[in-house]
Amino acid sequence: MADAAPLKPESQRPWRHLPGDRRPDTRTMIRVDQAGEYGAARIYAGQLAVIGGRHKHAGEIRHMAQQEQRHLDGMNRIMTARGVRPTLLGPFWHVAGFALGAGTALLGPKAAMACTEAVETVIDEHYGEQTDALADGSDPELKAMIDDYRADEVEHREAAAAHTGGGAFPVLEAVIRAGCRAAIAVAKKI
């Protein structure tokens, strides 16, 4: 193996794994996150389609949508760079994300914000789990992206909660949170 890429001596690497340690499965993480950011972009697109450009919340939702697009662009880039295959459920998220955004917006702007609050609560938890797993230093690039995007997601959740007063639609929000958790579980598999 004389021609293998030179590795720094073990002691100079930023992390060390012992034989048998489980390293974070970053390829699955990227696939799930790309699917999630795709879904998020579609949720905000659905909200905007219903709420329209002139509503008092429109500017705020458009700002969130732009941030989701930045997250999605980043995940698309790292996915391509590392040759990670996308989720097979892209067409499903395309429709389901839009339907969730549009459907809640049809119930009213407050329900749309409750949807955002529920979705971003789950995304914050999800990114929190990933960043904890990556605290071993095994993938600084991905960890930096997740930390960066997570800060935006928390901002979205707080902004939405400020509109609803927090937990305004407990049943709806519980259903959406459960749906998002199920979506994450599915995206890990396919």
Binding site for Fe ion (CB under 5 A): 37, 40, 68, 71, 153, 156
* Minimum distance of Fe ion from residue 116's CB (angstroms): 8
* Minimum distance of Fe ion from residue 153's CB (angstroms): 4
State which residue, 21 or 144, has the beta carbon closest to Fe ion: 144
Q: CA neighbours within 13 Å on the CB side: how many for 124?
A: 15
State which residue, 89 or 154, has the beta carbon closest to Fe ion: 154
* Minimum distance of Fe ion from residue 23's CB (angstroms): 25
CB under 8 A, 24+ apart: contacts of 16-22 = 17/136, 17/138
Give the other-Cβ count within 10 Å of 179's Cβ: 15
**Do residues 164 and 49 make contact, with C-beta atoms less than 8 angstroms apart?**
no
State which residue, 55 or 63, has the beta carbon closest to Fe ion: 63
**Chain residue at closest Cβ approach to Fe ion:** 71
State which residue, 13 or 181, has the beta carbon closest to Fe ion: 181
* Minimum distance of Fe ion from residue 156's CB (angstroms): 4
